[in-house]
Amino acid sequence: MTGIISAMQEEIQALLNKLQNISTTTKGMRTYYTGTLFDKKVVLVFSRWGKVASAVTTTQLINDFNIDEIIFTGVAGAIKPTLNIGDIVIGKKLFQYDMNASPLFEPFEIPLLNRKFLETKDAEKLIRATNKFLNSYASYINPKEAESFNITLPKVIYEDIASGDQFISDVDKIKHLNNILPTAFCVEMEGAAVAQVCFEYKVPFSIIRIISDKANSNATIDFPKFANSIASNYALGILKNYFD
């Protein structure tokens, strides 16, 4: 069974709309939707924002359901100029950029795990699925909706991601992140926490991030609208191809 997590329900609403044979379980103020999605048994849940919220959700998901893998999908802010709104980052290495227990440990090192980052599972299948989605983009994304968010010629990359409990909307903070984590391409608030829980429980995981903004002073877009009309349908198209 595959566990699918997002920080906002809007980010997986299109998947919920396709879910069949639904049963629900509510624990810890979260609803877990079990059912069949594209002939695969899945559990869908939105975790709420932040590392603690996503770690709690991931732990509950692993302990209460027979999970073979976890996929986190949602939006992120670009911190590299080569990324544009609507692009997709498939996570490679996940860093907690606000983890700093120095001088006892090196910056970013997770105490007792002896790791500065955690790696996702082999992404080849997910990247193929994403490219198939991009090849049939207009089947999932309304062109007028894409135009309203200035999305043109979206692409997929397989790169590192930085996670922390801040919403980044400042150019100086972007420069700081580029300096301390030069390999990270986007920033968000959950991925590395999901990665740590999955690593400790030995559950394979993947991270899909749709670029919603460039983490600068223009980052105040209508997130619920972007999540519902763009990110949610990205997840639908990507995972349909992934499960096929």
147 is catalytic: no
In Å, how far from its chain's centre is CA 140? 19
- Looking at the structure of the chain, the number of domains it has is 1
pLDDT tens-digit series, residues 222-232: 778 898 899 99
CA angle 134, 177, 186 (to 5 degrees): 10
**Which residue bears the tokens 């090849």?**
135
Of 11, 87, 159, 160, catalytic: 11
Mean pLDDT of the chain: 95
State residue 232's pLDDT score. Answer: 97
Catalytically annotated residue among 109, 160, 188, 213? 213
Could you confirm whether 98 is annotated as catalytic? no
Cis preceding linkage at 103, omega within 30: yes
Residue 181 is predicted with a pLDDT of 97
Predicted model pTM: 0.95
- Beta-carbon count within 10 A of 23 CB: 9
117: domain CATH number is 3.40.50.1580
Of 52, 38, 49, the residue nearest 2 (C-alpha):
38
Domain residue limits at 6: 2-243
